[in-house]
Amino acid sequence: MAIELLTPAQIDEMRPAGRFVAEVLTALREAADVGVNLLELDALAHEMIRARGAESCYIDYHPSFGASPFGKVLCTSVNDAVLHGLPHDYALRDGDLVSFDFAVSVDGWVSDSALSVIVGTPREEDQRLIDITTEALGAGIAQARAGNKVGDIGRAVGDVGRAHGLKVNTQFGGHGVGRTMHGEPHIPNDGRPGRGFPLKPGLVIAIEPWFLHTTDEIVMDPDGWTIRSADGSRGAHMEHTIAITDGDPIVFTARD
């Protein structure tokens, strides 16, 4: 798959998609409460998509690892689930750690973002995990500058995790974004500085660190989508879609 560098005009055209993704994730963060069903949250995201005239990147998504098309518009990963959680009939409970991952196309341009929240009474260790993952995302974005390499982003993310005693999984990570949700280059959550694809103005990528409390080993549910920790420990996931420029990166999916 060819890697496309966008023009400044195309970068501007991507901004509405990023703003909309941020709006939906903000609404989901506010709606997530004790007793709220995951299917209700998916329905909320679906209604916002319809109202905006956007197009879901998930509902018909069927990569090689998926058992079937995803069928929903939102990933909801709860507690020991950390990635690709398929919404199902589950009412959130006090203390649950839930990660939302959401991507849509607006006017032909895609943005992709994720965040983790605690429902009700937080566990200190869960908030710490979210804080570490957020720190890692910020460290990765700080390295997303022209002249650097993909390895600089990955190393920055991985260094944050290791500094806090976490193990780093590189099976799933960030990716190129543009007209489609998943493109090249792959942005792993670890790397070697100065190695990998060069970052150039016009490159748009999603950076998405995720960590588990006590392991880097994962297993997949029978639904063929939901990815969990192998030892039952909880996970957190953060993601932003950003553009490389001649100066500071543009964070399309920044939330208030």
User: Which parts are annotated binding residues for a divalent metal cation?
Assistant: 101, 112, 175, 208, 239
Reference 201, options 241, 144, 153; nearest CA is 144
Binding residues are 84, 101, 112, 175, 182, 208, 239
Binding residues for substrate are 84, 182
Phi-psi region of 151 (alpha: psi -120 to 50; beta: other; left: phi over 0): alpha
Phi-psi region of 64 (alpha: psi -120 to 50; beta: other; left: phi over 0): alpha
Which tokens belong to 130? 């979210």
Provide the 10 A C-beta neighbour count for residue 21.
Answer: 27
Provide the 10 A C-beta neighbour count for residue 16.
Answer: 16
User: What is the rounded CA–CA span in Å between residue 204 and residue 11?
Assistant: 8
Name the amino acid, one letter, at 99: S
